Structure 1
Amino acid sequence: MPSNVEIKASVRDHSYLMQRAKELSASDGTDIHQEDTFFKVPRGRLKLRDFLNGSGQLIFYERPDKDGPKLSSYSISPTNDPQGLGRVLSDALGKLGQVKKKRRLYMVGQTRVHIDCVEGLGNFMELEVVMKENQTTEEGVAIAHQLMQDLGVKEEDLIEGAYMDLLLAEAQQNGCK
């Protein structure tokens, strides 16, 4: 199963982060609009990513819910019918919720730097160090830590879990179901 080392953090200075990501990647990045629908599963997370252009991906992943760099193992299958697949999965498993985001993707070496605007939550940054064959988790963690420093991400900005978790927690706190 492929894996990556990832971190997620709140964004303090969006303009600075965008500029640093642009400099480090030597590119303007790529804009991606996504709707991720999460389904109820007994372990890990299962989400259907809809790129809103008739294509999508079914993604299963497992990772610990802790802040800081963590290893995530995943499986991805493309689909040309994300809406139809979403209906089937909702009927079979039940829907946990949906995350809508605008994402700017920058590639820095083997790392995907995502700068996200998440509907209902705000601005976040995510690093995904895509692990190479025979590369150790420690090497991936070191790359993530170096990029955090290069991008100005502070330890206190790190968050645990997924955007879906944050949205569910906020809904519960506000008395929504």
Structure 2
Amino acid sequence: MPSNIEIKAKIDDLQPFKQKAGVLSGSEATVLAQEDTFFNTPNGRLKLRQIGNEKNSELIFYNRPDQKGPKFSEYHITLVNDPENLKVTLGKAYGIKGVVKKTRYLYIVGQTRIHIDDVDKLGSFMELEVVMKPDQDIMEGEKIAEDLMQKLDITEKSLITGAYMDLLLK
């Protein structure tokens, strides 16, 4: 199963943070309008991600601990070409937990995806996803995440533990 090391943090000001991420990546951001529909599950998290007006979407299952700082996450992605019908089917089977809408600014630095998210009803956040290589040591992924945290001036107090869905449900 693919995996990554992830951190998530609240940020106060989008613009300076986007500038730092752009300098580190050496490129402009890819801007994505995303809507994630979360479903009730007995374990992990299951979401249907719809991106802008694209017909193709992704059904994503992931499992990660709710803790501050770098955390190991395993995930599986299935491409979906009929997201609206799948949403109805999964909603009837499991129930819809909620929906997260966001504008995502995506930057790539090495094997890390920097997401800067403007989340409806929550505010501004950032995520680092160090996409792990096969047989790569978890400690190495954590070190990459911690190094980028330092370069982006992410402090321990700004780190959050759960998913955006968890924050919306509070």
Which runs of no fewer than 5 residues in structure 1 stay unpaired?
170-177
Q: Tell me how far apart the structure 2 counterparts of residues 67 and 129 of structure 1 sit (CA, whole Å).
A: 16
Structure 2: any 5+ residue segments left out of the alignment? none
Equivalent residue, structure 1, for 2:84: 83
What is the identity, as a one-letter code, of the residue corresponding to 2:67? K
Measure, in 2, the Cα distance between the counterparts of 1:88 and 1:13.
39
SS in 1 for 2:142: helix
Name the CA distance, whole Å, in 2 between partners of 1:26 and 1:73.
28
* Deviations 1:30-72 (CA, angstroms, capped at 9, x unpaired): 0001100000100000000011321210000000001100000
SS in 2 for 1:133: coil
Q: Which of structure 1's runs of 4+ aligned residues deviate more than 2 A?
A: none
Query: What is the TM-score of this pair, normalised by structure 2?
Result: 0.98
The code of the aligned residue for 1:76 comes to: I
Aligned to 2:168: 167
The CA deviation at 1:13 is: 3.0
Shift of 1:83: 1.1
Partner Cα separation in structure 2 for residue 33 and residue 75 of structure 1: 21
RMSD: 0.7
In structure 2, the residue matched to 1:14 is: 14
| Residue in structure 1 matched with residue 32 of structure 2 by the alignment | 32
Once the 2 structures are TM-superposed, how far is the Cα of residue 12 of structure 1 from its aligned partner?
Answer: 2.4
Answering whether residue 103 of structure 2 is matched by residue 102 of structure 1, we say yes
**Matched-pair contact (CA < 8 Å) for 2:13–2:124:** no
Q: Secondary structure at the match of 2:116?
A: strand
Offset from partner CA, 1:75-109 (integer Å, 9 cap, x none): 00011111111111001110000000000000000
State, as a whole percentage, how many aligned pairs show the same letter. 56
SS in 2 for 1:16: helix
CA contact (8 A) 2:38 2:99 kept: yes
Tell me the residue number matched to 2:156: 155
Q: Distance between the aligned counterparts of 2:40 and 2:29, measured in 1?
A: 33
Contact 2:3 2:72 in 1 (8 A): yes
Equivalent residue, structure 2, for 1:50: 50
Residue in 2 that maps onto 1:173: none
* Contact 2:31 2:103 (8 Å CA) reproduced: yes
